[in-house]
């Protein structure tokens, strides 16, 4: 969903740019003062993410992964060639979700191709 920023949000927003000055993150609200990072061990059964309060979250498949990690809601599954509503968003080794506006990591679940397919995260609050 896209929405317009309020005047207060616009006045307190920053544009995220790379070292060449290219916009990479769009307009982001300021006032974020907490950063938390972590690693989640791979699992071949669906597991809930830990409870970490945040305003934005980002997930990345570990570069060393041999398989994929799938992120979704409760009951997330791996692709199996059938139409369903549970298959998670696929992250290959090194893939990244980008910033997701969310209040807590624990709304997400993960499942992996292999027990060694790990997931890292960063949250801003």
In this structure, the answer to whether residues 64 and 4 fall within a common structural domain is no
Q: How far apart are CA 90 and CA 79, in angstroms?
A: 9
39 and 24 in one domain?
A: no
- Domain count of the fold of the chain: 2
The H or E element containing residue 7 is helix 7-11
Same domain, 115 and 73: yes
In whole angstroms, what is the distance from residue 20 CA to residue 80 CA? 42
Same domain for 106 and 72: yes
pLDDT number for residue 32? 84
Which class for 47: exposed (0-12), middle (13-18), buried (19 or more C-beta within 10 A)?
middle
Give tens-digit pLDDT for 69-117. 999 999 999 999 999 999 999 999 999 999 999 999 999 999 999 999 9
Are residue 70 and residue 107 in the same domain, yes or no? Answer: yes
For residue range 15-45, what is the model confidence (pLDDT) as tens digits? Answer: 555 556 565 665 555 678 899 999 999 999 9
Would the pLDDT of 5 be above 80?
A: no
Q: Tell me, what's the pLDDT at 15? A: 54
Place of tokens 């997701």: 100
What would the mean pLDDT of 38-64 be, rounded to a whole number? 97
pLDDT of residue 31: 77
**Contact between residue 116 and residue 42 where contact means Cβ atoms under 8 Å apart:** yes
pLDDT (0 to 100) of residue 60:
98
Instruction: Report the distance separating Cα 51 and Cα 104, nearest Å.
Output: 6
Domain shared by 26 and 36, yes or no: no
| pLDDT at residue 123 greater than cutoff 70 | yes
**CATH code of the domain containing 37:** 2.60.120.770
Paired strand residues for 40: 119
**What's the rounded Cα separation, in Å, for the pair 22 and 31?**
22
Q: Are residues 39 and 23 in the same domain?
A: no
Q: Do residues 25 and 36 both lie within one domain?
A: no
pLDDT band at 11 (very low <50, low <70, confident <90, very high): very low
Residues 67 and 42 in one domain: yes
Q: pTM (2 decimals)? A: 0.75
Range of the domain at 4: 1-30
């Amino acid at each position: 969903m896209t929405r317009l920023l309020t005047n207060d949000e616009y006045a307190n927003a920053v544009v995220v740019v790379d070292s060449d000055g290219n916009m990479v993150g769009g307009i982001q609200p300021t006032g974020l003062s907490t950063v938390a990072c972590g690693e989640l061990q791979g699992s071949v059964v669906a597991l809930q993410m830990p409870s970490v309060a945040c305003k934005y979250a980002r997930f990345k498949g570990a570069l060393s992964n041999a398989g994929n990690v799938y992120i979704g809601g409760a009951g997330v599954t791996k692709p199996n060639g059938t139409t369903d509503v549970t298959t998670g968003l696929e992250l290959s080794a090194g893939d990244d979700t980008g910033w997701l506006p969310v209040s807590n990591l624990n709304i997400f679940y993960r499942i992996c191709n292999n027990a060694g397919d790990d997931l890292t995260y960063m949250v801003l609050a």
